[in-house]
Structure 1
Amino acid sequence: MTNMANEIREIAERILPLDEEAMRAAQARLDSLTKPPGSLGKLEAAAAQAAGVTGEAMPDLSRKAVIVMAGDHGVCEEGVSAFPAEVTPQMVLNFLSGGAAVNVLARHAGADVVCVDVGVNADLSHPRLISRKIRRGTANMARGPAMSREEAIAAIRVGYDVVAELAEAGTRVFATGEMGIGNTTPSAAILIALGGLTPEQAVGRGTGIDDERLLHKQRVVERALAVNGADPADPLDVLAKLGGLEIAGLVGVILGAAAHRSLVVVDGFISSAAALVAARLAPACTPYMLASHLSLEQGHRSMLETIGLSPMIHMDMRLGEGTGAVLAFHFLDAAANIMREMATFESAGVSQG
């Protein structure tokens, strides 16, 4: 266990501060363009952040990928989802065949979809599937730890390694995606444990459960918290006892993106649970994150505020898969195009205020 924990510590130590010189150069470029300073708001902030992340004033952000981590959850035994657990492997095959919402949106954004089986409770085989199964789903967190500390760390390593391989091949921007029926339940538990919220504040409707099942879901989360006694000062303990394999995988994606000086666009509630754990494990990774959208899932706003992130867009979405993050890719493209194509006051002969 000590060696594996040291491995996570070593990953965290690879994450460097943003490049302030590149950010100053990007800001100088933005301020020279034919517009009032700061008038493009979050587009300008994203352009400056991308410069700091990559160390280049005008980086090429055209190579983008959404990494969809997939895993099942033992807590589904408690009836917390409107959909049966069998949907997880079925949807993984849908991703791989290109038929899911994230596939459609990724094609439109010119991004790759990379699907990783880190913990699906089924035997899956497909030429495009990255199979890195740690175990066949988590245990029921309402009755004991969802997984061991070693399994959580191994899943983090899966996400890190996938990013490392893609970054080596030229990918500069990553988005977090996930698939796992029942995964809003562990995400809410993580938010309560690390963010200090109550079940009433953190537990939402997920796939669309009714009022009665929502109350039941809150009680299940309360039971999981009581049974496991996760230590909020130890994010790995919280992740192992209350999390999911795909959530742990996304922690690795976020840490890996930061370690490889790549921007990571965070999707909705489940992805933000991973972002919260990653931020607690390695605070230096937070400046590498860009929050894509505000999910309708209860607790997401508080999750982002706890991390210190502000969403770019508000679309009333709650699908997951990485859909909101992929939509935000268009805004990154817009920011990059502004930097490269917009005239300066000098080049356009426009008087500067």
Structure 2
Amino acid sequence: MPVQTPTGLPFDDIRHLIATMPDADIVAGDAARERQGQLVKPPGALGRLEDIAIHLATWQGKAMPTADRPMVAVFAATHGVAARGVSPYPGSVTKQMVDTFTAGKAAVNQICATFDAGLRVFDLALDLPTPDITEDAALDERACAATIAFGMQAIAGGADVLCLGEMGIGNTTIAAAICHALYGGTPEEWVGAGTGASGEILARKVETVREAIAFHGKALSDPLEVLRRVGGREIAAMAGAILAARHERVPVILDGYVVTAAAAVLHALDPRTLDHCLAGHVSAEQAHRRLLARLNLEPILDLGMRLGEGSGAALALGVVKASVACHRGMATFAQAGVSDQA
């Protein structure tokens, strides 16, 4: 199959969204930083919690940030590469897990309940896997742009913090292909165990990534072409959610390797696209730490998790909520009648 060149038309809207992103609210951030200096504690005593509160204030545009309406959005999709045996689990597990989310019985459900977060699960045509990326593009340009637009619905309903997660058997192979396309190196540097791949399965993952990048070749010089050719529906939708959150001044907490790979596409287009994002955790997937370093994102948690489904981002939300509670609820030195530094 000959490599197609991009038409430029559907993706123009996406490029426009990036070009018109709002900047940080420096005034709100400075006000939050000033308040942190007045709270009844030694300067910097709450460490990263202080930085997180200031980050939320800067992007929400208010000196007293909130985390009262957090939303965890999980995007689920199926991939043609799953048929190549790149996971210990069959592709049918994706839909079965979506049913488990709906029934409230997955790990992410319990974590959301613990931190009073809403959960929305987006079914992205689960009965229609994308083509095998070693033989064809995952999406055409129009479908990719439409899926990005669909993902922008994640912030509907007025969330003040958005956590992103995913579900899709085979999608750590997809994430590795995206990273290899964006950053080069070898497939082995970007491929990891995923849901527990080892031996022959892991070797198939590596070879699948190698073949996919060779097949699409020079077309992968454009990050949006990387997204549509070796990505997937959940990857495109999460990119859309990140962009929509930026335009609505909603801070984003990223989950694991797959979510971060979606973010990496935007970062490759313009590094500023992720300025409103926090890395919820660094997963056990061996390439995730390397990818976070590329994006200059410091994870909030490092617990050896590799579950996906937004679980790490939702767990990090607990830290974010504690940060906001301290920022809003602590007394200042003057209010508490405590002597400040001499």
Q: Which SS does the other structure have where 2:300 is aligned?
A: coil
- What is the aligned partner in structure 1 of residue 55 from structure 2? 49
- What is the aligned partner in structure 1 of residue 146 from structure 2? 154
Do the aligned residues in 2 keep the contact of 1:119 with 1:138 (CA within 8 Å)? no
TM-score (norm 1): 0.91
- What is the aligned partner in structure 1 of residue 3 from structure 2? none
How far, CA to CA, are the matches of 1:230 and 1:90 in structure 2? Answer: 37
Letter of the 2:147 counterpart: A
Alpha-carbon offset, residue 226 of structure 1: 0.4
| Structure 2 residues not aligned, in runs of 5+ | 1-6
Residue 312 of structure 1, aligned match among 263, 286, 300? 300
- What is the aligned partner in structure 2 of residue 341 from structure 1? 329
Once the two structures are superposed, residues 136-190 of structure 1 have per-residue CA deviations (whole angstroms, 9 ceiling, x without a partner) of: 1210012222221222211111111332xx2xx3211111111110100010111
Q: Which SS does the other structure have where 1:115 is aligned?
A: strand
- Residue 75 of structure 1 pairs with residue 81 of structure 2: yes
- What is the aligned partner in structure 2 of residue 9 from structure 1? 15
The 5 Å alignment of 1:170-185 reads 170-185=158-173
How far, CA to CA, are the matches of 1:144 and 1:267 in structure 2? Answer: 28
- Residue 29 of structure 1 pairs with residue 17 of structure 2: no
Alpha-carbon offset, residue 296 of structure 1: 0.3
- What is the aligned partner in structure 2 of residue 288 from structure 1? 276
Q: Which SS does the other structure have where 1:36 is aligned?
A: coil
- What is the aligned partner in structure 1 of residue 216 from structure 2? 228
Once the two structures are superposed, residues 30-87 of structure 1 have per-residue CA deviations (whole angstroms, 9 ceiling, x without a partner) of: 0111222222121111101101101101122210111111110001121100100011
Do the aligned residues in 2 keep the contact of 1:143 with 1:227 (CA within 8 Å)? yes
How far, CA to CA, are the matches of 2:179 and 2:96 in structure 1? Answer: 28
Letter of the 2:61 counterpart: G
Aligned residues between the structures: 335
How far, CA to CA, are the matches of 1:209 and 1:112 in structure 2? Answer: 32
Do the aligned residues in 1 keep the contact of 2:124 with 2:234 (CA within 8 Å)? yes
- Residue 20 of structure 1 pairs with residue 26 of structure 2: yes
- Residue 267 of structure 1 pairs with residue 255 of structure 2: yes
Do the aligned residues in 2 keep the contact of 1:230 with 1:241 (CA within 8 Å)? no
| Structure 1 residues not aligned, in runs of 5+ | 122-135
- What is the aligned partner in structure 1 of residue 100 from structure 2? 94
Alpha-carbon offset, residue 211 of structure 1: 2.5
Q: Which SS does the other structure have where 1:189 is aligned?
A: helix
Q: Which SS does the other structure have where 2:228 is aligned?
A: helix
Do the aligned residues in 1 keep the contact of 2:189 with 2:287 (CA within 8 Å)? yes
How far, CA to CA, are the matches of 2:218 and 2:30 in structure 1? Answer: 42
Letter of the 2:89 counterpart: F
Letter of the 1:144 counterpart: D
Letter of the 1:265 counterpart: I
- What is the aligned partner in structure 2 of residue 207 from structure 1? 195
Letter of the 1:171 counterpart: A
Alpha-carbon offset, residue 216 of structure 1: 2.2
Once the two structures are superposed, residues 218-244 of structure 1 have per-residue CA deviations (whole angstroms, 9 ceiling, x without a partner) of: 111101110111545411100111111
TM-score (norm 2): 0.94
Residue 303 of structure 1, aligned match among 291, 294, 301? 291
How far, CA to CA, are the matches of 1:15 and 1:232 in structure 2? Answer: 25
How far, CA to CA, are the matches of 1:233 and 1:266 in structure 2? Answer: 25
- What is the aligned partner in structure 2 of residue 141 from structure 1? 133
Identity percentage of aligned residues: 41
- What is the aligned partner in structure 2 of residue 61 from structure 1? 67
Alpha-carbon offset, residue 282 of structure 1: 4.2
Residue 276 of structure 1, aligned match among 246, 264, 283? 264
- What is the aligned partner in structure 1 of residue 4 from structure 2? none
Alpha-carbon offset, residue 351 of structure 1: 2.6
Q: Which SS does the other structure have where 1:312 is aligned?
A: strand
RMSD: 1.4
- Residue 40 of structure 1 pairs with residue 46 of structure 2: yes
How far, CA to CA, are the matches of 1:230 and 1:40 in structure 2? Answer: 48
How far, CA to CA, are the matches of 1:196 and 1:302 in structure 2? Answer: 13
Q: Which SS does the other structure have where 1:229 is aligned?
A: helix
Do the aligned residues in 1 keep the contact of 2:10 with 2:141 (CA within 8 Å)? no
How far, CA to CA, are the matches of 1:312 and 1:25 in structure 2? Answer: 23
Once the two structures are superposed, residues 16-40 of structure 1 have per-residue CA deviations (whole angstroms, 9 ceiling, x without a partner) of: 1110000000000001112222221
How far, CA to CA, are the matches of 1:174 and 1:18 in structure 2? Answer: 17
Query: For structure 1, which segment, 189-198 or 236-245, has the greater mean C-alpha deviation from structure 2 after superposition?
Result: 189-198
How far, CA to CA, are the matches of 1:232 and 1:346 in structure 2? Answer: 58
Do the aligned residues in 2 keep the contact of 1:137 with 1:245 (CA within 8 Å)? no
- What is the aligned partner in structure 2 of residue 129 from structure 1? none
